[in-house]
Amino acid sequence: MSIVRSLYIFISLPLIVLLTVASSCVRGSDSENYFGGNHFSIQDSISKINQSIDKIRNDSNHLQTILEQSLSSNDKINQLVLYRSLGDLHLKNFHFTSAIKNHGEYLKLSEELADSLQIVKALNVLAIDYRKSYQMDNAIRYSFRARKTADNLQNSDTTVLREKALSLNGIGWIYSMLEYPDEALNSFRQSYQYAERVNQTDLLADDLMGIGVAYRDKKMYDSARVYFNKSADLFIEINSRTGLGLTFFCFGQLSAKQGSYQEALIFLNNAYNTLKETSDKLNWMEVCFTLGNTYKKLSQYAEAEKYLVEGLEIAKQLNLPFYLKNAYSDLSELYYLQNRPALAQQYHVVSHSFDNLINRNETQTILFNAFADYEKAESKKQLTGLKTVFDAKTNQQRILIVAFIVIIILLILIFLIHNRYTTMKKQKEKSLVEITKLKSDFYTNITHEFKTPISIIIGLAEKLKKTIGESKSAHNLIDLDIIGRQSENLLFLVNEILTVSKIQTRNSIHWVNGNIVSHLRYLHSCYVDFAETKKITYLFHSSTDEIIMDYSREQIRVIVNNLLTNAIKHCTAGNKILLMVREDKKQKKCIIEVADNGEGITAKDLPHIFKTFYQGESDLREQMGVGIGLAFTKQVVESLEGEIHVRSIPFKETVFTVEIPIINHRRASDNPATEETVPVPRRFEYDPLELEEEKEDSGKPLILIAEDNRDMIFYLTTVLRDEYNIVVAHDGQQAMDFAEEKTPDLIISDLMMPVVDGNKLCSHIKSSVMTSHIPIIVLTAKASDEDRIQLTKAGADAYMTKPFIEEELKAKINQLLKSRKELREKYGQVVLDSQNASPELTNDSNFEFLQKVTDIIYREMKNIDFFPQGLASEMCVSPSQLNRKIKSISGLNATNYILKVRLNRAKKLLTTSQKPIGEIAMDCGFNDFAYFSRTFKKEFGITPSKYQRMPHLSN
């Protein structure tokens, strides 16, 4: 050891010296930054040109003339400065197209000159151009590109720090405009730190205002007020009239957010008067819109219209689609409130004409992608920096490699010898843990699969107990058939479990001699339904009708079922799956191939897919079933002395090839049961879809069943169809479409469905105005707290875990329908007399819908021709949808509800007005006095004239 220690010291001394020299070299190289040599000459030229054009900076014609001279002389630096100045002037005058064009040329020239600082400046001004014109997609791209480029600048002088602050400030306002207050707050704070270092007061004030806006959007109003005050102080300090007007605007918006509209008007009028005296048309326009909407909240419609129209005119001058859309939308809403429907509809249509120009979801996607690209570039830059340092140190240490080789080899040998036993022990322990986890996951997942057949068997058994004495033999036979099939499913799952434990023992294989082609054809047919439900082209091909050989039905079943299941679950609608079998007579092999053009296997995963515990990176990996896996499949193939191979081109072709030797040591006569079947799920002998065609009984409630399992559909239908009208949807999307079209009384949905699952179905139904009232019961095999919480958040009215009790399901259905009926009666009474409405009802979306309908009926009561088409048009729905919605809420169809509103209005006028009964009838939309008298008596049990003479009703 003393020799080794001495050798180590001997080697270390020169190494330390070399490292010291190397590190000093690194520090020396790091001290050289971008801002050397040529850069300063460009900056000096730009500064001189800026000074020379300072007096004509606001004269676009003069600047354009000088630019044309510079273009003819090919003076790029002069062009760069002039394009920047022209762009700034156009932006100042809100000529955004011209500003973008000139600033774009400024960016091109900066890139040609390879001047990073000018590139950052150009990117920042372009980002401002796009942000102020609300072209958010380009604003996002240029802002993040500016930030990325600025981060690469090594120098930390005031100019660079200011551009970094500007880029972060721009990103902060983008996040704020797209309503991401946390991200906005973070960006403004970073910008403030840079602006503080360069003492940029105007930028500091803007960052403080941005921080205040972020706190306002987070509903932290006291913090927002503090930062708005700080911003106002800085704007006063630099005597910025525009900044002060913006501060008043922020205070006004804050007060409006808190519901203090009178206080908001004070601030907003100050902002309006302040900004009107400046050239800042953009913010002046936004103040107009906010003032108009605030007056609208206070029902001061004339003032609201004045400011909204003024804002619209400014938006037209600036030609900004986003603000034009908002202006027309606000005015449309105002005209609706003023009972000017024609004008409201006209402005509503104009507002929607801008929808194709403004796509919030696309803008959010661009924002997320830009942020992700920035983070990726940052990570790559850090890795590049680390690699550069590593390479430098590697070069510096190159002279020491030879000296270290001997020592490293000795240390490696000692380490390997010393740790060999420990490593093997750890590997063994790790394998045991992985095996335990694999078994645990397998049994957990396959146990979950037991729940559906158990639910069906228990439910149908209970049903048979009650109907065995009735004359329903045909239905009972179908029920028994389903019970038998689901029992086979259970046996199939149990055999799957047992297979895992015995596939490694070759002595347990039960061999038969027979035609393997017919057995493969049978296995293929078992998955026809599975493939059809996913709309997959599913084929079988054999080069010969029979291949007589020794084989194990159980082992072949395991192999083929696992390969087919994987293929089906990794394919989508329109894909193709082919099971092929052929005989290689030369090599005496039976070759089985499963080919598909689905997702496929990546080149990275391909060498490892037959390894135990290996999990690839497929997006569809979570959809894998509870099969025994490719590692076990390979073991089964090898137990038959065969081989399995795979080749794959993702999304083009994936082929699993199994080669099994053809041996005939046994004879068919030795195996009398060569063609016995194996319990696997069979094809359906009935079609539940036929149940949808049964004629509806108008007296029964309509129930929509959303379920993709055919046995479960049949079971639920047979349980419920005696008491309810039933219709079936086979996935969540079908259910959503049907609910919008027919408005069922109740929905029963499975949680796990293709296309759209139960959670998304609940969320959609409860968020739609036309379907929000429909009760939903969710059936699920999942029973965890998290699953129940998700269902509750999605809006499910009830949920039941499989297996469920038939009577419990019926009880929940009846209770929900009863509650819905009671609520309809309460709505019908309360809407007619909204003074008696409770806060729970008035805050309900269905009550608001009915209240709006009632208000329109009162408004148009004399206009008989208005109903029902005009009412439906004002509610933005079709007459049939309006009829279904009103009936689902109030229990009355649209015609009867309108009649009831008119009669209640007449009843009130009879006790509060001195008008003749005929005139009251006309006021309430009844041109026929006899019809009015007849319907009034039918509704209230007394004639209008007798009712009017009853003195006790005057109160």
Of residues 369 and 803, more confidently modeled? 369
pLDDT of residue 508: 62
Does residue 245 belong to any structural domain of this protein?
A: yes
The pLDDT tens digits of the residues spanning 45-101 come to 888 888 888 788 788 888 888 888 888 888 888 888 888 888 888 888 888 888 899
Q: What does the pLDDT average to over 840-857?
A: 72
pLDDT of residue 387: 60
pLDDT of residue 149: 86
Q: Where are the alpha helices (DSSP H) in 178-220?
A: 181-198, 201-217
Rounded to whole angstroms, how far apart are CA atoms 624 and 610? 15
Q: Which of 323, 343, 361 is the last residue of a domain?
A: 361
Q: What does the pLDDT average to over 2-20?
A: 46
Of residues 451 and 597, more confidently modeled? 597
Residue with tokens 């808190």: 258
Rg (CA), the chain: 39
Question: CA angle at residue 361 from 358 to 364, to 5 degrees?
Answer: 105
- For residue 692, pLDDT over 60 is answered with no
Q: Does 651 lie in the same domain as 561?
A: yes
Residue with tokens 């080149």: 603
Does residue 4 belong to any structural domain of this protein?
A: no
Q: Does 880 lie in the same domain as 766?
A: no
Q: What does the pLDDT average to over 858-881?
A: 78
Does residue 855 belong to any structural domain of this protein?
A: yes
Q: Which two tokens stand for residue 333?
A: 């809403």
pLDDT of residue 841: 55
521-530, 604-613, 945-954: segment of lowest average pLDDT: 945-954
Q: Are 554 and 499 in contact (CB under 8 A)?
A: yes
- For residue 314, pLDDT over 80 is answered with yes
Amino acid making up residue 955? N
pLDDT above 90 covers what percent of the chain? 16
93-97, 465-469, 737-741: segment of lowest average pLDDT: 465-469
First to last CA, the chain: 112
Q: Which two tokens stand for residue 381?
A: 């830059």
Q: Does 865 lie in the same domain as 839?
A: yes
58-62, 160-164, 424-428: segment of lowest average pLDDT: 424-428
pLDDT of residue 154: 74
CATH code, domain with 867: 1.10.10.60
Partnered with residue 728 across adjacent β-strands are: 705
Which CA distances in Å does 807 have to 458, 530, 804, 811, 813? 12, 31, 9, 6, 10
Does residue 756 belong to any structural domain of this protein?
A: yes
Of residues 778 and 695, more confidently modeled? 778
Of residues 568 and 884, more confidently modeled? 568
Q: What does the pLDDT average to over 372-378?
A: 64
pLDDT of residue 578: 95
Of residues 394 and 623, more confidently modeled? 394
Burial class (CB in 10 A: 0-12, 13-18, 19+), 430: exposed
Of residues 632 and 903, more confidently modeled? 903
Rounded to whole angstroms, how far apart are CA atoms 561 and 493? 12
Q: Does 650 lie in the same domain as 530?
A: yes
Q: Are 733 and 756 in contact (CB under 8 A)?
A: yes
Partnered with residue 777 across adjacent β-strands are: 748, 798
Of residues 949 and 220, more confidently modeled? 220
Does residue 697 belong to any structural domain of this protein?
A: yes
Greatest mean pLDDT among 471-475, 521-525, 579-583, 718-722 lies in 579-583
Rounded to whole angstroms, how far apart are CA atoms 208 and 392? 44
Does residue 61 belong to any structural domain of this protein?
A: yes
Q: Residue 833 — pLDDT band, cuts 50, 70, 90?
A: low
Q: Does 119 lie in the same domain as 168?
A: no
Q: Are 305 and 331 in contact (CB under 8 A)?
A: yes
* Sheet hosting strand 798-801, strand order edge to edge: 725-729, 702-706, 746-750, 776-780, 798-801
Rounded to whole angstroms, how far apart are CA atoms 691 and 278? 72
Q: Quote the strand ranges of 118-222, DSSP E.
A: none
Q: Does 589 lie in the same domain as 551?
A: yes
Does residue 493 belong to any structural domain of this protein?
A: no
- For residue 610, pLDDT over 70 is answered with yes
Contacts of 352-361 with CB under 8 Å at 24 or more apart are 354/321, 354/322, 354/324, 354/325, 354/328, 355/325, 357/321, 357/325, 358/321, 358/322, 358/325, 360/178
123-132, 617-626, 769-778: segment of lowest average pLDDT: 617-626
Residue with tokens 């006004």: 252
Q: Residue 875 — pLDDT band, cuts 50, 70, 90?
A: confident
pLDDT of residue 360: 58
pLDDT of residue 679: 37
pLDDT of residue 480: 75
Rounded to whole angstroms, how far apart are CA atoms 188 and 173? 8
Q: Which of 361, 387, 420 is the last residue of a domain?
A: 361
Which CA distances in Å does 421 have to 416, 424, 435, 500? 9, 5, 21, 31
The pLDDT tens digits of the residues spanning 258-275 come to 889 899 899 999 989 988
- For residue 623, pLDDT over 80 is answered with no
- For residue 156, pLDDT over 50 is answered with yes
Of residues 280 and 485, more confidently modeled? 280
Of residues 845 and 162, more confidently modeled? 162
Q: Are 238 and 201 in contact (CB under 8 A)?
A: yes
CB atoms within 10 A of CB 9: 9
Q: Which two tokens stand for residue 777?
A: 């019961």
DSSP, collapsed to helix, strand or coil, labels residue 825 as helix
Q: What is the DSSP letter of 953?
A: G
Q: Are 678 and 556 in contact (CB under 8 A)?
A: no
136-140, 244-248, 697-701, 712-716: segment of lowest average pLDDT: 697-701
Q: Are 151 and 378 in contact (CB under 8 A)?
A: yes
167-176, 306-315, 498-507, 576-585: segment of lowest average pLDDT: 498-507
CATH code, domain with 646: 3.30.565.10
Rounded to whole angstroms, how far apart are CA atoms 203 and 44? 25
Q: Does 796 lie in the same domain as 832?
A: no
pLDDT of residue 593: 96
- For residue 834, pLDDT over 60 is answered with no
Rounded to whole angstroms, how far apart are CA atoms 213 and 165? 18
Q: Where are the alpha helices (DSSP H) in 784-868?
A: 785-794, 806-832, 839-842, 845-859
Of residues 581 and 443, more confidently modeled? 581
Which CA distances in Å does 285 have to 53, 264, 764, 808? 32, 17, 37, 61
Q: What does the pLDDT average to over 571-592?
A: 94
22-26, 543-547, 811-815: segment of lowest average pLDDT: 22-26
pLDDT of residue 469: 64
The pLDDT tens digits of the residues spanning 168-212 come to 998 999 888 888 999 999 999 999 998 888 888 989 999 999 999
Q: Which of 744, 771, 804 is the last residue of a domain?
A: 804
Q: Does 799 lie in the same domain as 711?
A: yes
Q: Does 860 lie in the same domain as 750?
A: no
Query: Which residues are within 8 A (CB) of 849 and not within 5 positions of it... i.e. 6 or more apart?
Result: 769, 875, 885, 889
CATH code, domain with 756: 3.40.50.2300
Which residue range forms the structural domain that includes residue 220? 155-227
pLDDT of residue 908: 84
27-31, 534-538, 763-767: segment of lowest average pLDDT: 27-31
Q: Are 728 and 753 in contact (CB under 8 A)?
A: no
Q: Residue 315 — pLDDT band, cuts 50, 70, 90?
A: confident
Q: Does 729 lie in the same domain as 602?
A: no
- For residue 668, pLDDT over 60 is answered with no
pLDDT of residue 536: 92
Q: Does 249 lie in the same domain as 217?
A: no
Residue with tokens 């590697």: 394
Rounded to whole angstroms, how far apart are CA atoms 692 and 698? 15
Parallel/antiparallel/unpaired status of strands 576-584 and 589-596: antiparallel
Q: Which two tokens stand for residue 570?
A: 């990794």
Does residue 494 belong to any structural domain of this protein?
A: no
| Closest to 543 measured CA to CA, from 496, 474, 589 | 589
| Closest to 126 measured CA to CA, from 158, 84, 162 | 84
Total domains in the fold of the chain = 6
The pLDDT tens digits of the residues spanning 546-577 come to 999 999 888 898 899 889 988 988 899 999 99
CATH code, domain with 291: 1.25.40.10
Q: Does 605 lie in the same domain as 538?
A: yes
Question: At residue 752, what are phi and psi to the nearest 5 degrees?
Answer: -100, 110
Q: What does the pLDDT average to over 847-869?
A: 78
- For residue 157, pLDDT over 50 is answered with yes
Of residues 684 and 579, more confidently modeled? 579
